[in-house]
């Protein structure tokens, strides 16, 4: 692995210059590729070469000589390193805001908030059709349009769909013919949609049926003018590092570390590194996990990760959220990892909850670990674990990260539903599936980040093939993406 120290020595050797040990230590501690490059250029400009080794004092003199522009750049870099949060605004994150106490009444409040939030998005898409309260349409026959939440839905023996749909005023039995346009929508439980159809009298049956012909989802408007960030650099995405696992890919990680510290043009352009969860493998996540661990203490796992991140360039800001293997509650939304763990890391690492919506210098980024991808692949024919972006697209269409309550992904009933996608992001990133995939949906860059864990015993028994050790690099100014493979 080539770290900062080796790079400095190699670069200076090319220029016929050597450093005293304290000068080398000083440059290494700067841990900033740009600052070191400026100083090395100054050494060349001043023709400082062998046979005289360059001492720490000479470097100080050169730093004092830096032009105003160079000094300004340094000041900017220094302030950035001291407070990387200054350029990152949190738009939505449960960390420090949780209202959940476990009271049973919280579920009713949670569902009401979920309904109201998505209803207000759907309401903007009603295309002139006035949506009516369900208690009004349930009392008379004829055409009707409502905005409701699907409480239950099943397929009848003759292939039609039967459902119950409700709003805050009441509920009605629904029917979707297998011949209708609405049938193609693959409606799921808990979805909030605009439904247009006809209320049937059912020949004296006191309970009317709403025959739904057309369904409109909240959906995502096509972005006409995509936001441009207020910075020229690129964003790299890595995921599911799983430090502590005996299948952690150390050699591949070292290759990545060498690359990101190298003079490679793309590596040097990276300003942010985003990690959407499963920073560590954790302990007690599944029965018998201890047999698959190299590090059996979670603090030691985080400590190891902190050391690994210290080997990355300090001028890259690392943005993290937890996943289902991290040391926070399993129910979503998950808060950021605890402060005593955060203290192990250098100050260029930022910690948020799962999910988190951030404004990163003018760019809206939605980070979600991705636990619901598995269940969406079980429920929807168009979704598969091999293509996680197919699940991400369905989340965006439904404006919810866990569209169905009560499946594999546990949800904590917060007063505010942090899993609703209220705001349309510029970038949507997930992990969890240990695959690498990139796509674009209505102008949103969708990325599923790779992993640094080889195939586990669990994955072997289910023939799940991970796609590890890849780094996605996005240029948010051009939307161009490249994928670097370290396998």
Task: Kindly give, in sequence order, each residue whose CB lies less than 8 Å from that of residue 333, ignoring residues fewer than 6 positions away.
Answer: 93, 94, 353, 354, 355, 412, 414, 418, 419
Name the residue nearer to Fe ion (CB basis): 245 or 261: 245
Name the residue nearer to Fe ion (CB basis): 360 or 449: 449
The two tokens of residue 328 are: 């926070």
CB of 249 to Fe ion, least distance (A): 13
Give me the residues that bind Fe ion (CB under 5 A), please. Answer: 240, 278
271 phi/psi in degrees, rounded to 5 = -105, -35
Rounded distance between C-alpha atoms, residue 78 and residue 73, angstroms: 9
CB of 188 to Fe ion, least distance (A): 24
Name the residue nearer to Fe ion (CB basis): 93 or 240: 240
In a 10 Å sphere around its CB, with 0-12 CB exposed, 13-18 middle and 19+ buried, how is residue 197 labelled? buried
Name the residue nearer to Fe ion (CB basis): 194 or 392: 392
Among 306, 305, 240, 252, CA closest to 276: 240
429 phi/psi in degrees, rounded to 5 = -125, 135
Q: Where are the alpha helices (DSSP H) in 311-431?
A: 339-342, 372-379, 388-398
CB of 433 to Fe ion, least distance (A): 8
CB of 447 to Fe ion, least distance (A): 16
Instruction: Determine the number of helices (DSSP H) and then strands (DSSP E) in the chain.
Output: 14, 17
Q: Does residue 167 contact residue 115 with C-beta atoms inside 8 Å? A: yes
| Residue whose pair of structure tokens reads 């980024």 in the numeric block | 365
Cα–Cα distances (Å) from 473 to 53, 268, 478, in that order, read 38, 12, 12
CB of 323 to Fe ion, least distance (A): 6
Element (H, E) at 11: helix 4-14
CB of 239 to Fe ion, least distance (A): 7
Name the residue nearer to Fe ion (CB basis): 278 or 332: 278
In a 10 Å sphere around its CB, with 0-12 CB exposed, 13-18 middle and 19+ buried, how is residue 76 labelled? exposed
The two tokens of residue 465 are: 């093939």
| Residue whose pair of structure tokens reads 């309970």 in the numeric block | 207
Name the residue nearer to Fe ion (CB basis): 278 or 437: 278
Name the residue nearer to Fe ion (CB basis): 317 or 374: 374
Name the residue nearer to Fe ion (CB basis): 374 or 387: 374
CB of 451 to Fe ion, least distance (A): 6
CB of 330 to Fe ion, least distance (A): 13
């Amino acid at each position: 692995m080539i770290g900062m120290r080796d790079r400095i020595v190699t670069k200076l050797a090319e220029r016929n210059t050597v450093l005293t040990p304290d000068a080398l230590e000083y440059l290494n501690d700067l841990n900033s590729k740009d600052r070191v490059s400026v100083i090395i250029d100054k050494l060349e400009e001043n023709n400082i070469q062998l046979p005289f080794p360059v001492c720490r004092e000479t470097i100080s003199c050169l730093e004092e000589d830096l032009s105003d522009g160079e000094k300004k750049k340094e000041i900017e870099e220094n302030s950035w390193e001291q407070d990387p949060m200054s350029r990152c605004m949190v738009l939505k994150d449960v960390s420090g805001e949780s209202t959940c106490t476990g009271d049973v009444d919280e579920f009713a409040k949670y569902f009401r908030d979920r309904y109201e939030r998505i209803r207000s998005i759907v309401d903007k898409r009603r295309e002139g059709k006035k949506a009516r309260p369900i208690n009004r349409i349930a009392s008379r026959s004829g055409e009707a349009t409502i905005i409701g939440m699907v409480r239950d839905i099943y397929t009848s023996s003759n292939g039609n769909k039967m459902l119950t749909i409700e709003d805050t005023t009441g509920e009605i039995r629904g029917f979707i013919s297998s011949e209708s346009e609405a049938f193609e929508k693959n409606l799921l439980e808990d979805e909030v949609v605009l439904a247009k159809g006809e209320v049937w009298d059912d020949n004296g049956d006191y309970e009317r049926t709403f025959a739904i012909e057309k369904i409109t989802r909240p959906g995502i408007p096509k972005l006409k003018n995509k936001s441009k960030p207020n910075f020229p650099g690129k964003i790299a995405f890595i995921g599911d590092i799983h430090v502590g696992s005996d299948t952690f890919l150390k050699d591949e990680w070292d290759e990545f570390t060498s690359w990101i510290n190298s003079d490679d043009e793309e590596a040097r352009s990276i300003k942010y590194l985003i990690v959407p969860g499963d920073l560590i493998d954790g302990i007690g996540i599944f029965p018998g996990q201890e047999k698959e661990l190299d590090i059996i203490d979670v603090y030691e796992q985080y400590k190891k990760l902190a050391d690994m991140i210290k080997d990355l360039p300090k001028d890259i800001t690392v943005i993290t959220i937890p996943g289902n293997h991290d040391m926070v509650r399993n129910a979503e939304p998950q808060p950021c990892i605890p402060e005593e763990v955060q203290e192990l890391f250098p100050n260029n690492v930022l910690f948020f909850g799962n999910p988190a919506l951030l404004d990163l210098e003018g760019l809206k980024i939605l980070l979600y670990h991705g636990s619901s991808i598995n269940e969406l692949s079980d429920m929807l024919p168009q979704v598969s674990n091999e293509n996680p972006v197919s699940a991400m697209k369905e989340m965006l269409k439904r404006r919810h990260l866990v569209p169905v309550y009560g499946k594999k992904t546990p949800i904590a009933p917060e007063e505010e539903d942090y899993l609703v996608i209220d705001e349309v992001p510029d970038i949507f990133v997930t992990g969890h599936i240990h695959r690498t995939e990139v796509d674009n949906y209505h102008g949103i860059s969708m990325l599923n980040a790779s992993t640094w864990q080889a195939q586990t015993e669990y994955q072997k028994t289910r023939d799940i093939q991970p796609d590890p050790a890849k780094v996605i690099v996005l240029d948010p100014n051009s939307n161009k993406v490249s994928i670097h493979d370290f396998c």
